[in-house]
Amino acid sequence: MNSEASSTRDVRLALISHTNVGKTSLTRTLLHSDVGEVVDAPHTTMENTLHALATTAEGDRLLLWDTPGFGDSLRLKARLTQRDTAVGWFLAEVWDRVADRALYSSQQAMLAARDLTDVILYQVNAAEDPEFATQVEAELAMLAWLDKPVILLLNQLPPHSRRAERGALEQRWQDRFGKPPIRRVLALDAFERSWIDEVQLLAAVAEELPKAQRASMARLLPMWQAQALERFRASIEAVSTLLVTAILDREALSAGQPARLARIGALRRLGSRLETAVKKMDATLIRIEGLEGASARRIDTALTATRSHGDRPSPLQGAASGAALGGGAGAALDLALGGASLGLFTALGASLSAAAGWSWCQRAVDKRTLGWSAAFIEDLLVEAAARYLAVTHHGRGRGRYEGAALDSWRELAETAKGASKAEVDALLAAFDDPEQLQERTRLAVRAILTRALLREYPHGEWIL
């Protein structure tokens, strides 16, 4: 493709950064696909690669160049400004091609950005202090030479950074570099971004586009947004299915056993089915997001130990509570699936005396039948919401989903559940009403997930 051939139906973005900041990782995340090579080494991507992020039926295309980025920006600048002379052209096109591949690649990146791009996405490593980012300064001089609108993206954010932290980082970089050619500063981590961040990035691009491309972008952006919303809808469905399955699940008490033993047996059988259902939900969420992988294989005792339910032991506390109560923590650790239920059932098996403490999570449907209690379903709502949040934030550029640290997502989900009391109460009131149950579950799940996302991304209200 060259500049002459490009149509006004193409919206062209280029990812540029110092080498090894995360361009290919972000490309993968945006594409939901493992394109290119990601290696912790400079100059892994030696050529510009063009990807179609989205296309519409009308023929509009949103294109993204993954580039080799910059190495030595001072030498690069010298080369690019010499290109118009015969010697300069020779050095750039013949000499560097053979003698200095990295410098040659950087020149190709810059030429693509100059001639084949409408908006430049310039990634920086947010772990750097903007006050001392001299390299960024030199690179911005190069970007000014391109004379294109630039959106600065903060990558490699601190793990699990929440809204306030991201906002503060954006402000610091904005204060330091928020002048031409930079038009915007956005936190967008290739490993842990949300789909709302992505829609916001495209909305920012739309505002910076030259007039000729705006009509196309006016079709591409809603399409991107609609696809993201469809994934959200499907995820709400997957979470709701888990909840309805758990609410409707029943287990008969075995006859001829002491009552307590019969209850524990029934609870274990309910628990093992729940475990399977949670795994299935995780797998569905992972697939919906275009990821690969499975839920965590190990319970993170350090995290589960910090979770407190006041004086009632929680089945969601996992192996740590089992250990505290004398259960087999080692055995619990080796069982599949993080957190949701295994700790309870392993500990139950190991320590019958501890089981009395878990009576709150069961309810007698009738004299011979057990089901899950309303209190337990409330906890399961939070757990399932946290699992959705963890999966949806996982960028494909990070690699396989292997489970995530859930505690900060649980906190967010718990807050969102608190703010959705009306919807949750309506759900709990429909426990024995099969006609209402499905819809009320969906409404409660939607309320919790939407509130959790809006708490994190208040500027995303127009998207949801």
Ligand X SMILES: Nc1nc2c(ncn2[C@@H]2O[C@H](COP(=O)(O)OP(=O)(O)O)[C@@H](O)[C@H]2O)c(=O)[nH]1
Number of residues in contact with ligand X under rule CB under 6 A: 19
Compute, in degrees rounded to 10, the torsion defined by CA atoms 271, 272, 278, 283.
Answer: 180
Shortest distance (Å) from residue 398 CB to ligand X: 7
Of 45, 216, 295, 304, the one binding Mg ion by CB under 5 A? 45
CA distance 463 to 399: 27
Interactions with Mg ion, residue window 13-42 (CB under 5 A): 23-24
Q: How many residues does the chain have?
A: 464
State the DSSP code for 305: T
What residue is closest to ligand X based on CB?
22
Among positive and negative, which fits the CA dihedral 75, 79, 82, 86? positive
Q: Does 24 bind ligand X (CB under 6 A)?
A: yes
- Closest Cα to residue 10, out of 66, 67, 57, 52? 52
Of 12, 23, 184, 417, the one binding ligand X by CB under 6 A? 23
Alpha carbon distances (Å) from 64 to 14, 15, 25, 147, 210: 6, 7, 13, 18, 16
Scanning 4-57, the segments in alpha helix (DSSP H) are 23-31
HSE-CB at 110 with a 13 A cutoff on CA atoms is 30
Instruction: From 34-42, 238-246, 351-359, 450-458, give the range in contact with ligand X by CB under 6 A.
Output: 34-42
Of 189, 251, 275, 282, the one binding ligand X by CB under 6 A? 189
Residue 17 or 225: the one with the smaller Cβ distance to ligand X is: 17
Compute, in degrees rounded to 10, the torsion defined by CA atoms 389, 173, 148, 189.
Answer: -20
Residue 125 or 438: the one with the smaller Cβ distance to ligand X is: 125
Residue 25 or 73: the one with the smaller Cβ distance to ligand X is: 25
Shortest distance (Å) from residue 399 CB to ligand X: 8
Angle at 46 between CA 132 and CA 209, to 5 degrees: 65
Residue 24 or 314: the one with the smaller Cβ distance to Mg ion is: 24
Of 8, 34, 35, 44, the one binding ligand X by CB under 6 A? 44
Q: Which does 17 bind (CB under 5 to 8 A by kind): Mg ion, ligand X, none?
A: ligand X
CA distance 207 to 203: 7
The two tokens of residue 280 are: 């299935």
Q: Does 40 bind ligand X (CB under 6 A)?
A: yes
Q: Which does 189 bind (CB under 5 to 8 A by kind): ligand X, Mg ion, none?
A: ligand X
Q: Does 143 bind ligand X (CB under 6 A)?
A: no
Q: Are 121 and 16 in contact (CB under 8 A)?
A: yes
User: Which residue is it, tokens 């929440």?
Assistant: 162
Of 21, 202, 244, 246, the one binding ligand X by CB under 6 A? 21
Q: Does 377 bind ligand X (CB under 6 A)?
A: no
Instruction: From 183-191, 212-220, 301-309, 334-342, give the range in contact with ligand X by CB under 6 A.
Output: 183-191
Instruction: From 14-22, 170-178, 286-294, 422-430, give the range in contact with ligand X by CB under 6 A.
Output: 14-22
Number of residues in contact with Mg ion under rule CB under 5 A: 4
HSE-CB at 259 with a 13 A cutoff on CA atoms is 5
CA distance 344 to 279: 16
**Contact set with Mg ion (CB under 5 A):** 23-24, 44-45
Residues making contact with ligand X (CB under 6 A)? 17, 19-25, 38-40, 44-45, 69, 155-156, 189-191
